[in-house]
Every structure is written in C-alpha cells, then in structure tokens.
Structure 1
Amino acid sequence: MKTIILSLSFLSLLIGTSCKKSDANTADNTKTPKEINDFVATGPKIAIALGGNAWVKTTASEQINNNGLANWTNAGAVTSVYFRTEKPGMVTVALRMKVPSGNSTFKVSTGTQSITKTASNSSFDTVAVGNFNITAKGYIKFDIQGISKTGDYFGEVSDLIISGKPVTDTVSYAKDNIDSRFYWGRRGPSVHVNYTIPDAIKNNVEWFYNEINVPAGSDPTGSYFMSNGFGEGYFGIQVNSATERRVLFSLWSPFPTDDPATIPDDKKIKLIKKGTAVHTGEFGNEGSGGQSYLIYPWAAGKTYTFLTRAQPDAVTNKTVYTSYFKPADGNWTLIASFERPATNTRLKSLYSFLENFNPEMGNIERKANYGNQWAIDTNGNWTEITAMKFTGDDIANRGYRKDVGGGVNGNQFFLRNGGFFSDATALKQTFNRPSTGAAHPVIDFSNLP
C-alpha cells in the first residue's frame, strides 16, 4: 500500500538537471563494469547501484537520481550507500565512476575504517578502493565524501562494487529498477497490520475504531501512519513537511486508472459532506478517487483516535464511507463522507500500515503503536480485535529492503520501518496482543458531527 500524496521534490530528481551540471542523468550506466585487477578478495562481485541504494546529505546541489550520484561539487556532502549481508568478513570495495575533468581525491568509509583514493578517469571505469573488515552480519553503510578536486566536480558515481566473503546471493539491496524499484527502494519498505476479524462479524462490520500513538522522535518528514484501512480506502495521519501535518482520508474509485480525469461520471467518488477546514479533491498516480485532508498539528507521544463507517445501499449499489478523528483531549471531528458507486459492502479487509512517501527520507527510521481496535456490527455489538498478520509491500517481499518490523508492544501492535536497522521481523507472521481488559470506548453515535 502506497500513499497518494504527490511530491514535487522527487519529481525534480527524475527530470534531471541542466546541461551546465554534471551529466550523470544521461550517462549510459547499463554496461557491465570492467574487471578490477587488484581486488584482494575473491568470489562473486556485486554492483550496488547508488540510484536505488544511496542518500546524500548536502547543503549544495548534490543529488541521487536513477543513474547515481550527480552534481557532486561540495566537499561537505556525504553520500551513504547501504546493503545487508548475512556473513561477516573481509570485503573489497570499488566505485564505478568518472571524473569529468582534472583529478579528484575522496574517501570511502565504514565505521572507523576509511580509505582515501584519487581518480582522474574522464569516462566511466571501475576505481579500486580497498579492503574493509565487516565484523557482523546485518546492514552495512559505506560513506563517500570528497576531499579535494582540480575540476568543477568530484565526479559521478553509479555503483559501489563489493567482493569477498560477505558477498553472497543473500546480500540485500535494490537490485533493479523494473517498475521504478529504485524509487520505491529509496522510499523504503511499507509494512502492514492485517487485522483478523472473527468469522461471526467479518461480513457485517459497520464501524471500525482504532488508536495510534507515534513515539517521540519516530515521526520524520514523509511518514504516513495509516490507521483505518479497508478494501476501498484508508484513513490516517501524515508528516508532510517540517511545518505541516495532516489527517488524511481517501477513497478509491471503482474505475481502475491512475488519471482521475479519465474516470466516467458514474464511477466518480461523490463528496457527501466534510468537516470544518477540511480540504477535498481528487488524487491519482496510485489508483484514483476522492481525497480529503485536515491540516492539523498532531504530535508524537500523544494518542489519536480514528473511526470509520460504511453504509451500503443494495438498491442503488452505492456505499457511503465516513471518517472521524479525535485527539485524546478533544472531541470528534468529521473529516469527510464520500459515496462510492458500484459498491455494496460493509467494512472488510481491515488493516493499518506504516510507510514513507519521501524518497529522500527512506534512510530514516519511523515507528508507531496501534492499539485498542474494535469492530462494531450493524446491531451495535462491539468486538475487540486482538490478532493480526504482519505483511509488507513489493520492496519488502523481494528482500530489497529488510528494515521491517512489527509485532506486539504491551497491549498494542506496532510497526517499524526505514533506517536500515538489522533486527528485522520476518514477514507473514501472525501476532496476538493482550486485551486491554477494559470496556469498549463510549461513543454517542447519534451525536457525531
């Protein structure tokens, strides 16, 4: 599951830079690198593409695009490349790179180990760096930083090439850019809580109640903490920038398209009502439909409550979905009510997810606790939901990113992703949380806005 928020920042990375800048955007990086004659390590070599596995910390013009590190002019810029190995040992490192003009001196580091090299090749070639000792299995970070240069650019780097004992077919990294996997890999893996609904009510759930608490420091920009997901839509909170946060409720159209302009009138999502200060419109790119959001300064460390309702009409074959939001110390707020055509269903396939929608923040960890889940049937009966299955998206399932976590934290479920932590949780496990031991929340449904 991926978020619908569009990001102009990442689109600019894909468009490329002007002709006055480094030309890594147009370089042919599909050729097989030349053999590295002075490798000490033996065994298979792996080329880890920076386009899907690197991030650059800079205050200047450096960027990571599909071809790797481009516009490398600033000695203060640090480019970090990540991969995971299941074996410790000696690894030999090289860079596939070029220096457009002059000579460039740079260093490659991991942990306390650092090697300085000078390169002057004006076309892409393999530049040997040296040997590094990997002391434990798990995620490894290599940093690349410029020291001095005689030309305008330090260079363009497409791949970190590794060989040695740790290099086996179990090394984890974004291995290809099919279906834009470099982009999704840099966003990082999405992880999900798929709730187990008792058979007695699973076809008759009218309301779903859930709570989220994001631990302090676990809410970097680009995070989407989705609470109430169902077969036709989803509802949660986002960190959209350093100054803006949102409560977001979206509903897909039954017409399959990434372009909302192509949806026929009889398949469009219809807004029934919305709350005060709530923005509404359409979304596209990952399916299309109706979207609503409230700009709201929610804070890490506090608990927020989410309530969603489905009201199907078998005669018209339409279903109305409504979502409400409440802070721990406040009242219920209507986000929006949408009508979905060609739909006659209650709430099914209930789930939560955690994702990052900003590829520049895919190397930062995030975490959330999801607790006190209740399903309410059409007769008003409350059922506490205490079981779930932990799953991930395509990037997680392929093992391109293994920094995924989920399970039970006290009497809550939790999700964790990003940051390249090594203590991953195996996907497709089931978990059961303890009951809260309390009566269900009290809601005056007749008085909701």
Structure 2
Amino acid sequence: MRLFLPANPIFWLYIVLLYGCNNSKQINPAPEPGNSGAFHDSNKQTIPVGGNAWLENGGMLSETGLTDWSDPQTVCTTYLRVTKPGMLKISLLLHPQAGKTNLKVSLFNNSKTVTVEGNTQKEFFAGEWQVTEPGYIPISVQGISRSGETFGVFSAIVVSGEAVGPELSYVRNNEGDYFYWGRRGPSVHLNYNTRKLNNIEWFYSEVTVPKGNDVTGSYFMANGFNGGYFGMQVNSDEERRILFSVWSPFETDDPGNIPQEDKIVLLKKGEHVNTGEFGNEGSGGQSYLVYPWKAGNTYRFLLRGKPEAQNTTVYTAYFYAPEDKNWRLIASFKRPKTNTYLTDLYSFLENFIPETGNIQRMALYGNQWVADANGRWTELTQITFTGDETARKNFRKDYAGGVDNGRFYLKNCGFFNAFTPLDQEFTRPAGKVKPEVDLEGLR
C-alpha cells in the first residue's frame, strides 16, 4: 500500500513546530509571591525565627516563633550570614489565620508584598533578592492587612539559591536552649599568657567602655581567674554594678544544693556592697556594688588570691574609680578545698539579656599586670582570643578582638561583618606603667 504525503510546505512547517514544542524542556514561570516553597532550589535551609529574630513594636517571640501578632507596626527582623554573593530565594513558614493576610518582606531596602491565606502551616514564597557581597542579612517581615484576629504564627524563614552555602551562619535549633544563648550573642575572651609566671597573688587591669557602647545587658569582665570573675555590668537603664563572684568547688547550678563544707564564706565586704549566693551558671558567693560608672572613663580592677591554711584560698577584690580617686573594697571570700595562687587569668565581654543581642558593644582592656607573693610586678602583653560555643558552633559570627591603639579590645553582637577568627594570639606593646597601688596598705 502506498502512503501519500502532502507536498504543501505549510503542512510540514506545522508538523515540525508541533513536534519540537512537545519535546522541548518546560520553562517554569517566574515564581509569584505567595506561592508555596516549590520554587526553592535543592540547597534550601530553614532559619528558625525563635532563635534568630528580634521584634519592634509588640508581638511575642518564643520557641515556636512570632505569636500574638496583630499590630501592623510590629516588625520582625531575622538575621543570617552568607559567605558568598548571588541570588537569594526567600519564603515564609507561617500558619495563617482563616482569611487573607498581606505581609511585607524587606531586604536591602527592597520590599515585596506576600499574600497568605489558609488554615494550616506552610511555606509562602516571598521572592528573590540579589546579594552582592558576603555578610549579615537582615530580613524584616511586617503585617500590612489581615481579615483574621492576627497575622498568624510566623515560625521560620526558608532560603535557597546561589548565596546559600554550607557555612551559612544562624542558630539552627533549640537543642541545649540555644535559642536563648544564641540571641544573647557570642561571648569573647582574652586569655592572658602567664605560662612562665609562678605564685601570682595580685592581678591588676583597666577597662574603658567607649561612649555609646554601654549597652544594657553587657558584662565587661576585667579580672577573671580559675574560680571566679570581677568586672562591671549594665543591668538596666537605671542600674550599673561592679560584680565579684567566686564559685563553690561543688558543681551545681542550685546554691541550695551546696554542702556546708563546700560553701563560699564571706570574710568582709565594702561599704554599700550587697552579698549573697548565685546560681544557674555554677553556684557560689556573689557580691556587687551598685555604682554609676560612665562610658568613656577608665576603671581599675585589682584582685588578690592568697592560699591559706586548712586547704583554703582567700580571694579579695578592689575597685578604683577616677570619680572617687581611691581604692575601695568590694568583698573578700574564702573558698574551701582550694589552695592555690591565681591561675588561668582572663577577661571577657558578654551580653546576658537576649533582647539586646542585636546591639553592638565593645570595650578596651589595658595595662594588665600581675604581682607574685613577693610583690614583684610583671606586665601581661600577650593573649589568645577565644569565644564560647555560640561562636564555635557557627551560630553567630559577630565577634572580634585583638589590639587597638596599644590596648586589647573585645567586640560582640550587632551583626557586624568583620569578625576575628578564634584562637589567634595577639601582643600589645608594653606600656611599662606599673600600677600605682600600695599593696601593703590594702591588706
């Protein structure tokens, strides 16, 4: 049987076009805001709001995310750090109220409106943004309009794209209560090199907090040692403290569990100094002086650690403020089951209020000296810069330390980009300014 094929060229053009269209790859349309997370690349990661966000103007932040969200003035800003430029795709993991809700998602002064609706938790695609350089990215979400009682429960931000790599920095989960620790921010330390020194009885240092860096929740710890620490804090808008604490040799977070033979004993305290016990981060004896120290001034800290009889050590702290021009006793504690001079000397900077973990602060630590049991002074000029687990887990990278104009410095929080790699050694120039203090007069 013969097959007759049309000779008309228009017919053959139609066949070619039809065949080609049926066998070509399908081209997905550009994702529209509000669609599901199906438009993400395969490298997507989920950023929990509960451990990486801060609120303005209301709302409530918990482990589940942003709740009690009804005010259109509320802004929820979530931070993550990327290590390379490229396209960043963003969606919101959200449980909307019944009805329709409009949200504004902002990044790099570029905002997109997302419409969400339904009654179950799912991803709502927000759009794509171009990231031009590595560093921290603040992603802000704000309610525009709603038909329900609230804007919903906002749990996480989902990201993917060229800018997302394995080294993305954010608090990944709440194991070990890291939503709390991560929002407090990374703590950083100066560990002083005293390897060639013996019988250190006195430790002297100076701390200056530059103006504008006295952020509420900051602890500028000056004189730390194996067994306790001594420094100054910003406890609230109205109160500041000079704090000196000594841990019990009995390991517990509840001071009520410390056996009598392991308790820290208060020997003496200075005028207006409050004393008691502390817990939650180890337990022991605590003392503090409510004192209105000022940013921009330099304060002096002097610590003594002297072994005593019956396997005990007495630790005594003195504070010098330029406003008062005299050394004042903070407290003297006896620690049982300890018989040693001062060891493992360090300073640190930490934030102890999660709500201020998005605000940068720094301090200058200078003129560190130690004296042995014979009163011979030695200047400390070498440190190793270290960080806590929040830093080491790559949950936060907004930390720095080193030497600044002849003094050591520490900086943390605020999501700045220029971080200092941990475990580096730094040396400051020797100032050769021996402490002006009469040790015999203090005893």
> TM-score, normalised to structure 1's length?
0.89
Task: Give the structure with higher Rg (CA).
Answer: 2
2:63 to 53, 59, 66: 66
**Alpha-carbon distance in structure 2 between the residues aligned to 1:253 and 1:274:** 18
Matched, 1:400 2:401: no
1:316 to 310, 317, 339: 310
Asked if the contact 1:101–1:153 (Cα under 8 Å) also holds between the matched residues in 2, the reply is no
Q: Which residue of 1 aligns with 2:50?
A: 51
What pairs with 1:261-340 in structure 2 (closer than 5 Å)? 261-313=256-308, 315-329=309-323, 330-340=325-335
- TM superposition shift of 1:121: 2.1
Q: Which residue of 1 aligns with 2:381?
A: 386
Matched, 1:127 2:128: no
Q: Which residue of 2 aligns with 1:180?
A: 177
- TM superposition shift of 1:103: 2.0
Q: Deviations over 1:244-292 (max 9, x none)?
A: 0000000100000011001000000000000111000110111100000
Q: Which residue of 1 aligns with 2:337?
A: 342
1:369 to 364, 374, 380: 364
Q: Deviations over 1:22-46 (max 9, x none)?
A: xxxxxxxxxxxx972234xx33100
**Alpha-carbon distance in structure 1 between the residues aligned to 2:294 and 2:390:** 29
Q: Deviations over 1:167-222 (max 9, x none)?
A: 111101111211111110000000000000151x2x31000000000011111110
**Alpha-carbon distance in structure 1 between the residues aligned to 2:108 and 2:396:** 21
The one-letter amino acid of 1:152's match is: E
Matched, 1:205 2:200: yes
**Alpha-carbon distance in structure 1 between the residues aligned to 2:414 and 2:60:** 19
Q: Which residue of 1 aligns with 2:212?
A: 217
- TM superposition shift of 1:137: 0.4
Aligned residue for 2:326, secondary structure, equals: coil
Q: Which residue of 1 aligns with 2:153?
A: 156
Aligned residue for 2:154, secondary structure, equals: strand
Structure 2 unaligned runs (5+)?
1-34
**Alpha-carbon distance in structure 2 between the residues aligned to 1:107 and 1:35:** 16
Q: Which residue of 1 aligns with 2:192?
A: 195
Q: Deviations over 1:294-352 (max 9, x none)?
A: 10000111100000001112x30000100011112421111100000000011000000
Q: Which residue of 1 aligns with 2:111?
A: 114
What pairs with 1:67-86 in structure 2 (closer than 5 Å)? 67-86=64-83
Structure 1 unaligned runs (5+)?
1-33
Q: Deviations over 1:361-391 (max 9, x none)?
A: 1111010000000000011100000000000
- TM superposition shift of 1:441: 1.7
Q: Which residue of 2 aligns with 1:38?
A: 39
Asked if the contact 1:92–1:164 (Cα under 8 Å) also holds between the matched residues in 2, the reply is yes
Q: Which residue of 1 aligns with 2:416?
A: 421
Q: Which residue of 1 aligns with 2:6?
A: none
Aligned residue for 1:179, secondary structure, equals: coil
What pairs with 1:245-264 in structure 2 (closer than 5 Å)? 245-264=240-259
TM-align CA RMSD: 1.2
Asked if the contact 2:36–2:125 (Cα under 8 Å) also holds between the matched residues in 1, the reply is no
Aligned residue for 1:141, secondary structure, equals: strand
Asked if the contact 2:305–2:313 (Cα under 8 Å) also holds between the matched residues in 1, the reply is yes
1:94 to 91, 95, 105: 91
> TM-score, normalised to structure 2's length?
0.90
Asked if the contact 2:379–2:432 (Cα under 8 Å) also holds between the matched residues in 1, the reply is no
What is the number of residues matched between the two proteins?
A: 408
**Alpha-carbon distance in structure 1 between the residues aligned to 2:414 and 2:140:** 15
**Alpha-carbon distance in structure 2 between the residues aligned to 1:340 and 1:103:** 63
Asked if the contact 2:208–2:298 (Cα under 8 Å) also holds between the matched residues in 1, the reply is yes
Aligned residue for 1:446, secondary structure, equals: helix
Aligned residue for 1:352, secondary structure, equals: strand
Structure 1 segments (4+ residues) deviating >6 Å? none
**Alpha-carbon distance in structure 2 between the residues aligned to 1:259 and 1:111:** 46
**Alpha-carbon distance in structure 1 between the residues aligned to 2:331 and 2:422:** 33
Query: Which is worse superposed, 148-157 or 376-385?
Result: 148-157
**Alpha-carbon distance in structure 1 between the residues aligned to 2:86 and 2:66:** 27
1:436 to 426, 431, 439: 431
The one-letter amino acid of 1:167's match is: V
Asked if the contact 1:173–1:400 (Cα under 8 Å) also holds between the matched residues in 2, the reply is yes
How high is the sequence identity, in percent, across the aligned residues? 51
- TM superposition shift of 1:164: 0.1
The one-letter amino acid of 2:221's match is: M
Matched, 1:446 2:443: no
**Alpha-carbon distance in structure 2 between the residues aligned to 1:338 and 1:437:** 31
Asked if the contact 1:43–1:165 (Cα under 8 Å) also holds between the matched residues in 2, the reply is no
Aligned residue for 1:178, secondary structure, equals: coil
Aligned residue for 1:37, secondary structure, equals: helix
Aligned residue for 1:291, secondary structure, equals: strand
The one-letter amino acid of 1:67's match is: T
Aligned residue for 1:72, secondary structure, equals: coil
**Alpha-carbon distance in structure 1 between the residues aligned to 2:255 and 2:195:** 36
Query: Which is worse superposed, 120-129 or 278-287?
Result: 120-129
Asked if the contact 1:410–1:434 (Cα under 8 Å) also holds between the matched residues in 2, the reply is no
Asked if the contact 1:374–1:384 (Cα under 8 Å) also holds between the matched residues in 2, the reply is yes
Asked if the contact 1:212–1:371 (Cα under 8 Å) also holds between the matched residues in 2, the reply is yes
